[in-house]
Amino acid sequence: MLVLEPIFEADLPPEQYAYRPGRNAQQAVIEVEERLHRGQTDVVDADLADYFGSIPHADLMLSLARRVVDRRVLHLIKMWLECSVEETDHQG
């Protein structure tokens, strides 16, 4: 995060709140309320289900390599994308 966050944070629009440092859902709600009071009534919400499970990893890595030059960081990201995930539910 220390390496990647500053690189990509600079490109994010101010109205994006998800997964950003110092931002949260409550702030997003306040922003929506303020915009409604100013007469803006259009709201667009998009949620990509299973995004990281379905994105083509090779294309993602090529895109990242255009911004991140440290091969060690890129290798860690690739390993993270390929690692198995184990989830535990209420039954164990």
Q: Give dist(CA 57, CA 53) in Å, integer.
A: 9
Q: State residue 77's pLDDT score.
A: 92
> Are residues 8 and 37 part of one domain?
yes
Q: State residue 52's pLDDT score.
A: 65
Range of the domain at 18: 1-47
- pLDDT per position as a tens digit, 9-20: 888 888 888 788
Q: Give dist(CA 87, CA 60) in Å, integer.
A: 25
Q: State residue 82's pLDDT score.
A: 86
> Are residues 91 and 73 part of one domain?
yes
> Are residues 69 and 30 part of one domain?
no
> Are residues 15 and 28 part of one domain?
yes
Q: Please answer whether residues 81 and 60 qualify as being in contact, where contact means their C-beta atoms are separated by less than 8 angstroms.
A: yes
Q: Give dist(CA 2, CA 70) in Å, integer.
A: 13
Number of domains in the chain: 2
Q: Which of 61, 55, 59, 56 is nearest to 79 (CA)?
A: 61
- pLDDT per position as a tens digit, 29-59: 898 899 899 999 887 776 667 776 788 999 9
pLDDT band for position 64 (cuts 50, 70, 90): very high
